[in-house]
A and B are shown apart, each in its own frame.
Chain A
Amino acid sequence: MSEQTVPADLPEHMLDLDEDDDLEVFSKNTSLVDGNPVPNSPGSMVNQYRLEEDDEQQHDANAKDLFITVDNPESHVTAIETYILYSVVTKTTRSEFDSCEYEVRRRYQDFLWLRSKLEENHPTLIIHPLPEKFVMKGMMDRFNSDFVESRRKSLHHFLVKISEHPILSYSEHLKVFLTAQDLTPHKRQGTSFLSWMGETMRSVANSVRGLRSRPEEVVRMQEYVEDFSSKISCVDKVAQRIIKEQREYLEELKQYGPIYAQWAGLEEDLADPLRGVAGCVEQCRKESEEQIQHLSGELVPVLHEYVLCAETLKAVLRRRDNIQAEFEAKDEILATKKVDQEAMRDEVDALADRVELANNALKGDWSHWKNSMRADLKSAFISTAEKNVDYYEKCLAVWEAFLLTQKADGGERREDV
């Protein structure tokens, strides 16, 4: 498997080969007549041609009719390997589904398969990324509960995004993923695409010459993606740095509070306020720990997903470029070489259509993605701000309670005198 040359186009994180032996090598399905088990329904083709703001809003206005959850991770042991299986539960009222409720068991590999199929069939749609493979060779624990939980959340989020997508949610592959008890027979069908690999490689080689010109919108998209990618990575790093600094702060607090309590043991009248302060410091420390949990559980995963999204966007733009390059290459051959004009022209026309389809799909999905991104990040930042307010409010209450006890004591003392 590892002998195969991999297209230069692949996002880097997908290249890590570890325990998954049957890692799917993604082929670029460059033909309109693809090997889908079921051809695109007329309805979805109409969507692809005319997906504009209006249509999308209309779709969103429709009640959400596909609900998917991922939970209940469990270790599964076989003779060869051990891996985690997740329960994927689907509830739906869509007519395409025979039943209205499904539950299946899926492993991470299965999600990879699904995403690769979606990418094959919709090369210029923006498909939400999956959480990364486990790259840290040093750490043994793929089954560490924090890691499993954060992966579960990302997988869940992935399926939610797909289910909300106006085109992708109707994919046949998604349906199979959600409903088939055994995914293996469906996964085997993928091997037929290996035969397309050769053609893909040749066309990529041909397109190295460079594009004539990109549509203006695409140029703007490219600029945006560069900026977005660097900014979101930066924000992600800042968030992680904050967590690190805060953990070190907590470590010092752990040492600090008890010193007051120890001193209290030495004193008489002073013992009470000293113990009070020790208690306050300890309580604030607990609140701070909770706040860190929130940051790493709620904010960082979202930021990280969008760091991966930036890479997805780059890949999508590259694929779109390749589609355009293929067309331009053939078009040039048509114009300059002595070939069978008629057959060639059909091919070129088909490629031209493909370019237009790709551009429209991307254009339509772009605003969908941007809205989705804005909503996700907005909600994550708001939630972080709220948690911080909550943290300070709790600490405030702790110290005010302490002050109250001291005022009461002070009053008594004055009465004694």
Chain B
Amino acid sequence: MVEQGSILLRRMEICVAEAEKRSGKNAVNMQETFTVYLIETRPMDAVTEGQNPAPDSLWRRYSEFELLRNYLIVTYPYIVVPPLPEKRAEFVWHKLSADNMDPDFVERRRIGLENFLLRVASHPVLSNDKILCHFLTEEHGWKEAVCETGFHAKSDSRLRALSATFRVRNPDKRFMEMKHYSDELQSHTSQLLRARARVADRLYGVYKVHGNYGRVFSEWSAVEKEMGDGLQSGGHHMDAYAASIDDILEEEEHYADQLKEYLSYAEALRAVCRKHELNQFELEMASHDLISKKQQREELATGIVRTFSFKGMTNKIFGQEAPEQREARLKLLEELIAEGEESVKEKTVECEEHVEQAWVDMQRFKEQKDKDLREALISYAVMQISMCKKGIQVWSNAKECFLKM
């Protein structure tokens, strides 16, 4: 059995090794084709000892990953939960397939799913989750186990969350700043992804048109005596140049994927902030409710009406009620007040704990983000350098050929 308290990834090697197409009936009993991914795990101590045991493996499809993530979001609302790779291909430049069955898309998704599992399994809090462990190690019965946790019931309704956002009075300023940051991060990354796709599209056009040189030079060389060889071989390099853009842009997609991950992370960050708003709002509501009940008790006890109340009005119009009724009402109020005080206590604790834990995780997230994105930018620079080197090579070769014209 898996030990508690130490990060899962240190104990277990995880990878998403393969992808395969399957056919089956879906929820509305229609035939569909989908992709499943092979998750392989091996105990880390066996690996480090140099043994090479066969990995345990099981197949999961994307929707199961989604289910796992939804469970984690509800169960750990103070954690910025790592995102999944995109459900549908977005920010696509024209030659790139938007088809979910396209092999390049499936490959990138495989990498993205592996990345998700690695992030979750190396998280100080999430990695201890039993459902996660179950997901990785036992193929059957997992869905039932997740549903049994009853996490569906715990999830907050959208409407409540939205209402809280508008009506909360005193949210933690740091969380409001963080929420604002998440909005900005989302905006900038999506702008960047869109612009990058357009640039990729144009660059593709530039490279591909050079292929026409190849074709014309080849035809032309047939009618020239001295120039022929130089033209022909120069033309071959033009063809090579035109062809080189496919690999260059495919590699750049990995950079785009890194940006997309943080586009999705921004959403996860915002979710944590909204949870705080909800907690704070409910605390405020509960406190407010408690105060108004205490006021009612005071009015009832002293007979002095401080604030306008319907009861007060009816008392004036219809006369005071009997002392027994008053006693009954007072007793009820006392009970409600006691409950209310408990409720306020609980909610205060809940809110404070959430703030404390979330703040820790948001700091962790910030450090991770800075490190990851910096590496992504560096890898982007490396890609550009590689592209330049290829360009230098091709055009130098072409020049050599032209010199022979």
Contacts and interface: CB of A to CB of B under 8 A. Distances in A.
B209 A276 contact: no
A278 to B, nearest CB: 10
Contacts of B217: 235
Contact of B378 (A232, A252, A273, A378): A273
A307 to B, nearest CB: 13
Contacts of B374: 269-270, 273, 406
Contact of B216 (A234, A266, A270, A280): A234
B384 to A, nearest CB: 5
Contacts of B392: 389, 392-393, 396
Interface stretch (B6-14, B40-48, B397-405): B397-405
A315 B365 CA distance: 75
Given A246-B206, A260-B192, A273-B374, A399 B381 contact: yes
Given A231-B223, A235-B216, A403-B382, 18 more contacts: A234-B212, A235-B220, A245-B205, A246-B206, A249-B202, A253-B199, A255-B195, A255-B198, A256-B192, A266-B181, A270-B369, A378-B403, A385-B399, A385-B402, A392-B392, A395-B388, A400-B385, A406-B381
9 contacts: A228-B220, A231-B219, A234-B212, A235-B216, A245-B202, A252-B202, A259-B191, A393-B388, A403-B381
A303 to B, nearest CB: 11
Interface string B191-211: 110011011011101100110
Contacts of A395: 384, 388
Nearest to B378: A406
Contacts, number: 144
Given A242-B210, A378-B402, A277 B377 contact: yes
Contact of A392 (B219, B223, B395, B403): B395
A14 interface: no
A252 B199 contact: yes
B391 A388 contact: yes
Nearest to B371: A269
Interface in A373-395: 374, 377-378, 381-382, 385-386, 388-389, 391-393, 395
Contact of A249 (B203, B216, B398): B203
A249 B206 contact: yes
Contact of B206 (A245, A266, A284, A377): A245
A179 B53 CA distance: 94
A263 interface: yes
A385 B395 contact: yes
A259 B192 contact: yes
B91 interface: no
A372 interface: no
A224 interface: yes
Interface string A263-281: 1001111100110110010
A260 B199 CA distance: 14
A231 B216 contact: yes
Interface stretch (B104-112, B226-234, B283-291): B226-234
The 3 closest A-B pairs by CB, nearest first: A385-B399, A392-B391, A249-B202
B241 to A, nearest CB: 9
Contacts of B389: 392, 396
B402 A263 contact: no
Contacts of B370: 267-270
Contact of A381 (B184, B369, B391, B405): B405
The secondary-structure label for the interface of chain B is helix
B185 interface: yes
Given A255-B195, A256-B199, A242 B209 contact: yes
A378 to B, nearest CB: 4
A238 interface: yes
B396 interface: yes
Interface in A212-233: 224, 227-228, 231-232
A382 B402 CA distance: 6
Contacts of A260: 192
Contacts of B378: 273, 403, 406
A400 B192 CA distance: 22
Interface string A289-321: 000000000000000000000000000000000
B373 interface: yes
Interface of A: 224, 227-228, 231-232, 234-235, 238, 241-242, 245-246, 248-249, 251-253, 255-256, 259-260, 262-263, 266-270, 273-274, 276-277, 280, 284, 374, 377-378, 381-382, 385-386, 388-389, 391-393, 395-396, 399-400, 402-403, 406
A228 B380 contact: no
The secondary-structure label for the interface of chain A is helix
Contacts of B216: 231, 234-235, 238
Nearest to B390: A392
A402 B199 contact: no
A273 B392 CA distance: 26
A392 B196 CA distance: 20
B213 interface: yes
A280 B384 contact: yes
B193 to A, nearest CB: 10
B52 to A, nearest CB: 33
A246 to B, nearest CB: 5
Contacts of B398: 381, 385
Given A248-B205, A374-B226, A386 B384 contact: no
A137 B191 CA distance: 42
B188 interface: yes
B384 A224 contact: no
A241 B226 CA distance: 28
A88 B62 CA distance: 76
Contacts of A274: 377
A141 B19 CA distance: 62
Nearest to B180: A266
B230 A378 contact: yes
Given A270-B374, A385-B399, A259 B210 contact: no
Contacts of A232: 220
B213 A235 contact: yes
A239 B198 CA distance: 22
A263 B209 contact: no
B260 to A, nearest CB: 15
Interface string B139-152: 00000000000000
A381 B209 contact: no
Nearest to B185: A266
A399 B203 contact: no
Nearest to B207: A245
Contacts of A266: 181, 184-185, 188
Interface in B262-315: none
